[in-house]
């Protein structure tokens, strides 16, 4: 009998000890059930998951604990209720305070991009092409459709800087340039899926993405901000409920982008990379008219101006510096073209100039 009692006593002590040991391994405020739900995954292979820590069987990388909502995140999410859009405060180029969801997103059809005014790469081209889209959309801008450009460099891009930037590109109504607290802008970028992992081969610092959507219907899509302007305008109008034949004044924005199928590579490259800022024979736009440029500029200089325009400015090249000042210090971006494509663009400008002069001569004779 005594032996049986001793066994029961030892069993009871062992069960209590196990319980105490388990509880001691659970962080304060975390239940045992919560601990059991913790999951680990590989940063490089997200499909590799485990209930216990260890190494990835595919790459050997240490498994990381999957993030789960904590008290801080819950408090942040509660600031904008059930909406996926943070209602943080931003400031427009005119110095007006607005709330991201309540004032800019709610009930609207919008197009949103991230930029910064000192960008030497995609941003200038993004902005110039979006000006074309704005023209295609006409008087719907500011009434049915709204554009937003949010800086990712708020320390530099004050409302005054953003206002000057918008004026350089002749931005029309219905398009706001916005700044705010760095943490709030980072939050917006993350929530909207516009952030990206660092890429050593991409010095731009952000993706040239355009988020377009209709908050009322919940339909959202992400496109390249460097996409065909007519395509972007059409997609935005379709979000308003217009069909595939949405009325767009195609000819008003860019006469170089023909509605007909044209496989001329030079024309295509000029239309997609140059026509947002330049024409050949139709006058200045954001940048100079390029009619005759191949006759007055050395080909090697033209090549560098297309490949690394920022370097020419840094080196204080007299021609590049003079053009930079004349055209309101708008930075020509690096277009990222292969050398073969650079040659094609230069040859296209040369042939277009010759064709223009030919037509001009024929018109004079008639």
- Confidence grade of residue 364 (pLDDT, cut at 50, 70, 90): low
Check whether residue 208 and residue 97 sit in a common domain: yes
Of 252, 274, 299, the one marking the end of a domain is 252
SS (H, E, C) the chain: CHHHHHHHHHHHHHHHHHHHHHHHCCCCCCCHHHHHCCCEECCCCCCCEECCCCECCCCCCECEECCCCCHHHHHHHHCCCCCCCCCCEEEECCCCEEEHHHHHHCCCEEEEEEECCCCCCHHHHHHHHHHHHHHHHHHHECCCEEEEEEECCCCCCCHHHHHHHHHHCCCCCCEEEEEECHHHHHHHHHHCCCCCCCCCCCCCCCCCEEEEEECCCCEEEEEECCCCHHHHHHHHHHHCCCCCCCCCCHHHHCCCCCCCCCCCHHHHHHHHHHCCCCCCCCCCCCCCCCCCHHHHCCHHHHHHHHHCHHHHHHCCCHHHHHHHHHCCCCCCCCCCCCHHHHHHHHHHHHHHHHHHHHHHHHHHHC
Residues facing residue 189 across a β-bridge: none
In whole angstroms, what is the distance from residue 284 CA to residue 7 CA?
97
Check whether residue 215 and residue 245 sit in a common domain: yes
Average pLDDT over residues 88-107: 96
Domain that holds residue 339: 255-359
Q: Using the structure block, give the residue that is written with the tokens 């706001």.
A: 176
Check whether residue 284 and residue 343 sit in a common domain: yes
Check whether residue 329 and residue 191 sit in a common domain: no
Residue 12 lies in a domain: no
Is the C-alpha dihedral spanning 186, 190, 193, 196 positive or negative? positive
Check whether residue 223 and residue 128 sit in a common domain: yes
Q: Are 213 and 220 in contact (CB under 8 A)?
A: yes
Average pLDDT over residues 10-37: 41
Q: Are 233 and 219 in contact (CB under 8 A)?
A: no
Residue 114 lies in a domain: yes
What does the pLDDT read at residue 268? 82
Residue 46 lies in a domain: no
Check whether residue 106 and residue 241 sit in a common domain: yes
Average pLDDT over residues 312-330: 88
Of 252, 271, 288, the one marking the end of a domain is 252
Of 252, 283, 318, the one marking the end of a domain is 252
pTM of the model: 0.60
Phi and psi, residue 79, nearest 5°:
-65, -30
Residue 41 lies in a domain: no
Residues facing residue 220 across a β-bridge: 213
In whole angstroms, what is the distance from residue 278 CA to residue 283 CA?
8
CA dist 91 to 176, 192, 216, 232, Å? Answer: 9, 19, 24, 26
**pLDDT higher than 80, residue 296:** yes
Residue 39 lies in a domain: no
Check whether residue 285 and residue 223 sit in a common domain: no
Domain with 282 in it: what CATH number? 1.10.760.10
**117, 122, 101: which is closest to 203 by C-alpha?**
122
Check whether residue 133 and residue 239 sit in a common domain: yes
Residue 60 lies in a domain: no
In whole angstroms, what is the distance from residue 110 CA to residue 123 CA?
19
Check whether residue 180 and residue 288 sit in a common domain: no
Residue 242 lies in a domain: yes
Long-range Cβ contact pairs of 279-282 (< 8 A, separation 24 or more): 280/349, 280/352, 280/353, 280/356, 281/352, 281/353, 281/356, 282/255
**292, 306, 269: which is closest to 357 by C-alpha?**
292
Residue 6 lies in a domain: no
Check whether residue 281 and residue 140 sit in a common domain: no
pLDDT in tens, 188-231: 988 888 775 444 445 555 567 888 999 988 888 887 777 778 88
Check whether residue 151 and residue 129 sit in a common domain: yes
In whole angstroms, what is the distance from residue 249 CA to residue 122 CA?
26
Check whether residue 97 and residue 200 sit in a common domain: yes
Residues facing residue 50 across a β-bridge: 40
Structural domains in the chain (count): 2
pLDDT in tens, 247-293: 444 444 444 444 455 568 888 888 878 887 888 998 988 889 999 99
Domain with 147 in it: what CATH number? 3.40.30.10
Which token pair is 108? 């609207």
pLDDT in tens, 131-140: 989 999 999 9
If one compares 66 and 260, the residue with the highest pLDDT of the two is 66
Distance of CA 74 to the CA centre of its chain: 27
What does the pLDDT read at residue 134? 92
Residues facing residue 219 across a β-bridge: 214
**pLDDT higher than 90, residue 87:** yes
């Amino acid at each position: 009998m005594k032996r049986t009692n001793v066994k029961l006593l030892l069993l009871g002590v062992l069960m209590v000890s196990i319980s105490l040991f388990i509880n001691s391994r659970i962080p304060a405020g975390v239940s045992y059930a919560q601990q059991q739900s913790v999951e680990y995954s590989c940063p490089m292979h997200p499909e590799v998951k485990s209930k216990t820590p260890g190494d990835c069987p595919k790459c050997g990388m240490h498994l990381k604990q999957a993030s789960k909502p904590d008290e801080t995140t819950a408090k942040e999410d509660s600031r904008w209720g059930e909406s996926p859009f943070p209602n943080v405060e931003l400031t427009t180029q005119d110095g007006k305070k607005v709330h991201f969801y309540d004032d800019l997103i709610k009930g609207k059809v919008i197009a949103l991009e991230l930029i910064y005014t000192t960008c030497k790469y995609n941003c200038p081209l993004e902005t110039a092409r979006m000006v074309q889209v704005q023209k295609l959309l006409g008087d719907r801008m500011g009434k049915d459709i709204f554009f937003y450009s949010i800086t990712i460099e708020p320390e530099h891009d004050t409302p005054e800087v953003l206002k000057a930037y918008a004026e350089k590109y002749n931005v029309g109504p219905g398009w706001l340039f916005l700044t705010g607290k760095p943490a709030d802008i980072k939050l917006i970028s993350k929530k909207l899926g516009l952030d990206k992992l660092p890429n050593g081969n991409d010095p731009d610092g952000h993706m040239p993405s355009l988020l377009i959507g209709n908050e009322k219907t919940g339909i959202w899509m992400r496109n390249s901000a460097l996409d065909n302007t007519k395509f972007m305008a059409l997609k935005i109008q379709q979000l308003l409920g217009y069909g595939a034949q949405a009325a767009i004044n195609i000819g008003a924005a860019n006469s170089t982008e023909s509605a007909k199928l044209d496989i001329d590579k030079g024309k295509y490259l000029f239309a997609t990379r140059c026509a947002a800022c330049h024409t050949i024979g139709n006058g200045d736009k954001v940048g100079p008219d390029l009619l005759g440029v191949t006759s007055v500029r050395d080909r090697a200089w033209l090549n560098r101006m297309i490949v690394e325009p920022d370097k020419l400015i840094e080196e204080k090249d007299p021609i590049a510096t003079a053009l930079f000042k004349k055209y309101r210090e708008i930075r020509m971006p690096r277009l990222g073209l292969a050398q073969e494509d650079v040659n094609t663009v230069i040859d296209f400008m040369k042939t277009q100039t010759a064709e223009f002069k030919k037509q001009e001569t024929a018109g004079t004779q008639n």
